[in-house]
Structure 1
Amino acid sequence: MVTAVGWAVLRAHRRAVGGDRVWRAQEEARARELSMAQVDALSWQEFEHYVAGLCRRDGCTQVVVSGKSGDLGADVVGYLADGRKLVVQVKKYASERSVSSQDMQKFVGTARLEHGADVALFVTTCRAFTKAALGLAIRQDIVAMHRDFLGAWVKGAHLEELIPLSGSGGGKRRPPA
């Protein structure tokens, strides 16, 4: 009888400690999340690294920040958990600005042909893509993530949940390497 009570108390203690660990991990993750005002305060280089960190947080592997002159539109490259290659173009623009068709054309021209993207993701801090840029993104299977979707990602939404919200851009499934 004493042994059974002892085991019950021990199991309850372990459940409580385990629940506390989960809660602490969630709180620490929330503390690491930035507000959009803090994201706006990042330099463009810091923003590229921050987006790479969000990719890693969501299970992407082999994530590399390559954002520099001559990167041919691939600021961040990595692999989604299911093995698809992710190529990200990052544009840190003022919130009132829009991503132009010209910006999108450059990315469309290199994301798959040059970098072999299964999922091509265009992330921006501005509120919108021009109608022409968004139309091009949809026709060319580019995930267009504007400020509102970025804000959701920053606050903990998972990348895999956000990809389909662009209306297109899920990419082809590739078996893990």
Structure 2
Amino acid sequence: MTMSERRTRPLSRGRRFDLRATAMSFALIAAALIAAGLAVRALAGVVQRRPVWGVVLLCVAVAAVLAHGRRRRRLSAARIARRAGEALEQATTTALDALDAPAPAPSTAPAPTGPYGEGALHTADAPGVPGVLDYDALSPEEFEEAIAALCVRDGCSDVRVVGGAGDLGADVVGLSPGGHRLVIQCKRYGDDNKVGSQDLQRFGGTCFTVHEADVALVVTTSDFTAPAREYAEQCGITCVDRGGLLAWSADPARRPWAAGTGGADA
């Protein structure tokens, strides 16, 4: 009786376990995780300062994930770690460049082509007078821009609108034609709301010592209380009420800083 010989299936020759390659892969993954932590920390600062960067980086990440999902072939652990490290390095470089970018400069007042050119709105207090705006129709920010444009119109240089949070009372700064430093606070008030002495005291505490003004002006669409005018006279602050503002708007020769410079800028 003969027995059939049973063939044995040859052992498959798989890839041998390489301890060195595995250790290298784990080291690369660890390095990628460390780089990811640093990049996330840097990107958090970028997103806090410039939210637009956060949206851009999020879109780039989503696009990368979608592109990766379309690839059918499998990538080795070492290749994944290498590409992740390159992507994180590029993102970190972009984030650091964004952090080192200079802060935007304060907005400068536009040339007076709109408010003081053709099609200017005329206030009811001076109907038909060219170049006189309806200041009551302006927002506080637009009022500051209008005062800056008046300064530009009358020959001032380096005029900037700096009003906002932390401005310490200065809304418009610039140099008069005679080279004197102007510091202007703008009060777009209604007729029933006058500029009081407390407003003048707050401005008086910073206009000369902090902003180093040669001439300090407070310009309003309303009026000043008697104590406010008294304080302004004692401190050398020029008050420009509604009447003075309209006169200045209609006639460049009525520029208010001339009184604070002894007529040198008249």
Shorter chain as denominator, the TM-score bin is 0.7 to 0.9
Higher relative contact order (CA 8 A, sep 6+): 1
TM-score normalised to structure 2 length: 0.49
Report deviation, 1:44: 0.5
Unaligned segments of structure 2, at least 5 residues: 1-114, 125-133
Is the Cα–Cα contact under 8 Å of residues 247 and 254 in structure 2 kept in the other structure?
no
User: Do residues 169 (structure 1) and 264 (structure 2) align?
Assistant: no
Question: % of aligned pairs identical?
Answer: 44
User: Matched residue of 2:168: which SS?
Assistant: coil
TM-superposition CA deviations, 1:107-163 (whole Å, max 9, x none): 10011100000000100000x211110001111110100000001112133354x34
CA root-mean-square deviation: 2.4
For residue 147 of structure 1, what is the amino acid of its counterpart?
Answer: R
Report deviation, 1:33: 4.9
Aligned to 1:156: 251
Q: How many pairs are equivalent?
A: 142
Change (3 A) 1:102 1:82: same
For residue 123 of structure 1, what is the amino acid of its counterpart?
Answer: V
TM-superposition CA deviations, 1:5-62 (whole Å, max 9, x none): xxxxxxxxxxxxxxxxxxxxxxx95646543352110110001001000000000000
User: Do residues 36 (structure 1) and 132 (structure 2) align?
Assistant: no
Unaligned segments of structure 1, at least 5 residues: 1-27
Is the Cα–Cα contact under 8 Å of residues 55 and 159 in structure 1 kept in the other structure?
no
For residue 187 of structure 2, what is the amino acid of its counterpart?
Answer: K
Aligned to 1:132: 227
User: Do residues 78 (structure 1) and 165 (structure 2) align?
Assistant: no
Is the Cα–Cα contact under 8 Å of residues 232 and 238 in structure 2 kept in the other structure?
yes
Change (3 A) 1:123 1:44: same
The list of structure 1 runs, each at least 4 consecutive aligned residues, that deviate by more than 6 angstroms after superposition, is none
Structure with bigger gyration radius: 2
Match of 1:88 among 153, 164, 184: 184
Change (3 A) 1:82 1:36: same
TM-superposition CA deviations, 1:45-86 (whole Å, max 9, x none): 001001000000000000000010110011000000110000
TM-score normalised to structure 1 length: 0.73
User: Do residues 53 (structure 1) and 159 (structure 2) align?
Assistant: no
Is the Cα–Cα contact under 8 Å of residues 148 and 159 in structure 2 kept in the other structure?
yes
CA distance in 2, matches of 1:29, 1:45: 17
Report deviation, 1:169: 3.2
